[in-house]
Amino acid sequence: MGVEEMVAMFLHIIAHDVKIRVIKRQFVRSEETISRRFNDVLLAILRCHNLLLKKPQPFSQDRMDERWKWFKNCLGALDGTHIKVNVLEADKPRYRNRKGDITTNVLGVVAPDMQFIYVLAGWEGSAADSRVLRDALFRNGFSVPQGHYYLCDAGYMNCEGFLAPYRGQKYHLSEFNPHNQSSTAQEFFNMKYSQARNVIERHLEYESKMENLREDHLLYEILGLHNHIRRVMVVDPIDEMEDQNILGVDGETIHYIETSDAWGRWRDQLAQEMWNQWRRRHHAR
């Protein structure tokens, strides 16, 4: 079997979530051959995993992207999603999430250009998102350089390295429209925040539709292929964005998650700056 046919079968299976018996009819190959070649391609892509993930790069305010221009030195956004999995009967209580589904809790970290920076799969569905994030920081190679940060939802702590929205305020984009404008600096901050952070919600919404994964490394490779596609496509049908020509991040990293008055004051200051600028423009009209 040639490489082209092996890759075609692999992509068809993961893109359309079809069974091997379907591929058997389409490619006229035995189920054993298809299974072996599927795993050959999977292992080959595994070796390229670190190359496929994007190196985190800080967003520069020099680029006037309306969604991100306020978030200088932001590296991207993160969130957790639940994907249905097949597990042993004895393990189902641990993998049952709040909705009663048997899932794995996956942490995804995405750059502003919609490429994945980091993925951690394997945590049972009953685990809280904040617990998965701590595990990623302390044991599984995820790091945040000092002076930089990621956007995260209200389920995470607002602290150094992780900027969360204001709780108790409107947050979801569907709550904001021309007839329901923000009335406070906190609401306006949440709107701008959600517009930027939508980059992770859109991608994890797709990943959460993958069902009944049997092995975590299959998820890693699907996300790696996602990055490769975004790099080689001339025009992205989802969202056309300019390339970023900026340097990677080095230096000391954040090793703990802890509330900080200074971080809270910085968020308040940023929210007030956003609000004041919007009001000046609004009244100028």
State the pTM of this model: 0.74
CB 122 within 8 A of CB 216: yes
Per-residue CA distances from 110 to 53, 78, 170, 275 (Å): 10, 6, 23, 27
Residues 191, 194, 198, 204, Cα dihedral to 10°: -140
Half-sphere exposure of 238 (CA within 13 A, CB side): 12
Name beta bridge partners: 150. 76, 162
Say what the pLDDT of residue 226 is. Answer: 66
From first to last of its 285 residues, what are the pLDDT tens digits of the chain? 889 999 898 888 877 777 888 888 888 999 999 889 988 888 887 777 677 788 888 876 555 577 888 898 999 999 888 888 888 899 999 999 989 999 889 898 988 888 888 888 888 999 999 899 999 998 888 989 988 999 998 889 999 999 999 988 877 777 776 666 777 899 989 988 988 888 776 656 555 445 545 455 566 666 666 666 666 665 554 444 433 333 345 557 776 788 778 899 999 999 999 999 888 887 666
Amino acid 87: pLDDT: 85
- Helix axis angle, 31-47 to 216-232, nearest 10°: 70
Other CB atoms closer than 10 Å to residue 197's CB: what's the count? 29
Element containing residue 15 per DSSP (H, E):
helix 3-16
| Nearest-angstrom CA–CA distance, 285 and 283 | 5
- By DSSP bridging, strand 253-254 and strand 162-163 are unpaired
The whole-angstrom separation of Cα 38 and Cα 11 is: 9
Residue 140: φ, ψ to 5°: -125, 30
- What amino acid is encoded at 95 in this protein? Y
Q: What is the pLDDT of residue 10?
A: 86
Largest CA distance in the chain: 70
Q: What are the residues whose beta carbons fall under 8 Å from the beta carbon of 35, sequence distance 6 or more?
A: 20
Whether residue 149 contacts residue 158, with contact meaning beta carbons closer than 8 Å, is answered with no
For residue 109, the cross-strand partners are 78, 118
Distance between CA atoms of 226 and 115, rounded to whole angstroms?
7
Could you state, in order of their start, the residue ranges of all structural domains in the chain?
3-47, 56-284
With a CB cutoff of 8 Å and minimum separation 6, the contacts of 77 are 109, 110, 150, 151, 152, 196, 197, 199, 200
Query: Is 111 exposed, middle or buried (CB count within 10 Å of its CB: 0-12, 13-18, 19+)?
Result: buried
Beta strands in the chain (DSSP E): 74-84, 103-110, 116-124, 144-145, 149-151, 162-163, 253-254
What pLDDT, on a 0 to 100 scale, did the predictor assign at position 250? 55
Predicted pLDDT of residue 212? 46
* Angle, in degrees to the nearest 10, between helices 31-47 and 20-27: 110
